Chains A and B, each alone.
Chain A
Amino acid sequence: MSEDDSYYGRPILKEPVWAPEIPFYFFFGGIAGASSLLHLGARVTGNEKLARRSLLVGAVADVISPALLVSDLGRPERFLNMFRVFKVTSPMSVGSWVLLVSGGASTTAAVLELAGKLKAVKVAAELVSGLAGPPLITYTGTLLADTSIPVWHEARRELPWLFGASALSSAGAAASLIVPPDEAGPARRLAIGGVAATTGIMAAMKKRVGLVGEVYDRDAAGTLGRVAKVCSGAGAALLAARGRQSRAAAVGGSALVLAGELALRWSVFRAGFQSARDPRYVVIPQRERKAAHGAPSRPAVPAGGAAAP
């Protein structure tokens, strides 16, 4: 694509206006939703220490998440407008309601757990938060995919999986950071398995999206992607090798996995900005699509070109 085929090389799309709050929200929202799953599993299997701590981690993350989202709004004082309507055509609307349910349930359960009161209400709240967890950790992928940003929209088949896996890995790491290794087995396995899954999904996503995926090898998205791979890979390896025997290894490995998963969210976030900035990522795939549809194309003839229209 030559310079003549773009308008002074200017972007066609607008870059997102979202601030750093958003990738941090993806990270904390992921921990919130996946921790509620971890918590339910631990309850069912009678692992009380893991259950209690992952409930508290999830509740804290569920409080941080909406604060980040409100802070990102251009008009934070109007955050309640998110609940004027429920729109299934807007992943942000659906996600706001899911986060409301998840946050309400997990904080209720956590408060009752600490207070040791209203057992029946607490169990109900735990179940609700467990149900809200899986959609909470996957909808964020679709939130990004449902835009015109090429590197996000073309990855619509992978992003919910990528974010779901990253959330499981982060929640597992967060729990194994603060639970003694003897009782943190499921959390550790979740962290390790999640890292393996995100690494695989990320590679598949980059391959399938083709040209627009090259932003993952460039600039901030590229650097963050490499940091993500190295940190989460090293953390998972450390957890797998020594996480069971050594508390220090478990803590170090978990911290590395958390850092890696945060970098992964940032890499995907920055990739969208880079994708919006370069008109090639809009023009080249759309031209190919147009040609494939056999749509009539009428490029202007340059000087010295064919004389017939």
Chain B
Amino acid sequence: MTEAWADTYGDEAMPRVGFFTDTTVCIGCKACEVACKEWNLIPEDGLVWTGHSYDNTGELGANSWRHVAFVEQRKPLKVDSGGETAELDPEPLRWLMESDVCKHCTHAGCLDVCPTGALFRTEYGTVVVQQDVCNGCGYCVPACPFGVLDRRHLPRKPDDAPLALPLLGRQEDGRVWKCTLCYDRLKGGHEPACAKACPTDSIQFGPLDELRERADKRLEKLEAEGWNGAQLYGRDPDDGVGGFGAFFMLLDEPEVYGLPPDPVVPTKHLPEMWRTTAIAAAATVVAAAFAFLGGRG
């Protein structure tokens, strides 16, 4: 039990859980995407060809809570161990695959800025949207440093409540959706659907402490074997978001996979921002007072 919010749950607090996604063994099968969609009843949102390798999902969003990225590179897979790849192949090609997901940040910007309390921290330390509370204000969407959350624009379901304000109400779902780390499955003692379906154990689920230990050992092994660019992303509890609940083993810099290199939760600077706001607010009073000094005409 490593996290401060355990206090708020008292006896109901559970060890913090998460994912360690080891991209070095990902084979790009997208079983995680499919299992997630099926378990969580996520609707289909259009079938398009992107032309970006085998990635036709494109990005995480309201209707894609796992997204497998495919990167094609002219880089050797390994850089030493006798230089088997580096020296023998003058034009090496490697195909990197990474199953991206909500990071379930220790300091979650989405949760901080949510004005309704729809986003909350579960007893497992994960971050979940309560769909019966979310009013679709959309503040979490630009707050997330990873671009994970989005508003669902698909039509409302027939069994949704009728529009209370028919003139203003949109005909779309209008709420924000993201990975729940299968909160319902956790409650039932099961691992999340994506981890369950992953055939290579690229997606590993478990208590975060254990995952971090396992990841450190894996990194040592990869380095000893000379894997080109092997690095942990989001494992460090001292980073800008306090460490990810779902972290990664990558084979290149994060930006190559479409991830921010040094994410920082925007609310880290909020005390400073509120101070600026207060001073600026006071200044507007002074400015208005000055405007009255010159008389009425």
Which of A's residues lie within 8 Å of B, judged by CB? 4-8, 10-18, 34, 37-38, 41-42, 44-45, 47, 50, 70-79, 81-82, 84-85, 87-93, 96, 133-135, 137-139, 141-142, 145-149, 152-153, 156-157, 160-161, 164-165, 167-168, 172, 181-187, 189-190, 193-194, 197, 244, 272, 276, 279, 282-283, 286-287, 289-290, 293, 295-303, 307-309
Question: Is A12 in contact with B71, judged by CB distance below 8 angstroms?
Answer: no
Q: CB-defined interface of B110-153 with A at 8 Å, one 1/0 digit per residue?
A: 00111111100000000000000111111101111111111110
Question: Is B143 in contact with A148, judged by CB distance below 8 angstroms?
Answer: yes
Residue of A nearest to B261 (CB): A286
A297: which B residues are within 8 A, CB to CB? 231, 253
Residue of A nearest to B74 (CB): A303
Residue of B nearest to A292 (CB): B262
Q: Does B40 contact A (CB under 8 A)?
A: no
Question: Is A137 in contact with B79, judged by CB distance below 8 angstroms?
Answer: no
Q: Given A74-B136, A91-B273, A299-B229, list of 14 further CB < 8 A pairs? A: A5-B253, A41-B292, A76-B169, A76-B170, A78-B116, A82-B115, A84-B133, A92-B139, A135-B281, A161-B280, A165-B284, A168-B288, A186-B294, A303-B91
11 A-B pairs with CB atoms under 8 Å apart are A12-B259, A41-B289, A90-B113, A133-B284, A138-B281, A149-B142, A186-B294, A276-B142, A299-B252, A299-B253, A309-B223
Question: Is B115 in contact with A90, judged by CB distance below 8 angstroms?
Answer: yes
Q: Does B173 contact A (CB under 8 A)?
A: yes
Q: How far is the CA of A16 from the CA of B151 in the complex (A)?
A: 10
Q: From DSSP, what is the main secondary structure of chain B's interface residues?
A: loop
Give the interface size bracket for B toward A: 35 or more
Q: Does B226 contact A (CB under 8 A)?
A: yes
Question: Is B115 in contact with A87, judged by CB distance below 8 angstroms?
Answer: yes
B274: which A residues are within 8 A, CB to CB? 88, 142
Question: Is A76 in contact with B79, judged by CB distance below 8 angstroms?
Answer: no
B74: which A residues are within 8 A, CB to CB? 302-303
Q: How far is the CA of A287 from the CA of B175 in the complex (A)?
A: 33
Question: Is B135 in contact with A78, judged by CB distance below 8 angstroms?
Answer: yes
A152: which B residues are within 8 A, CB to CB? 142
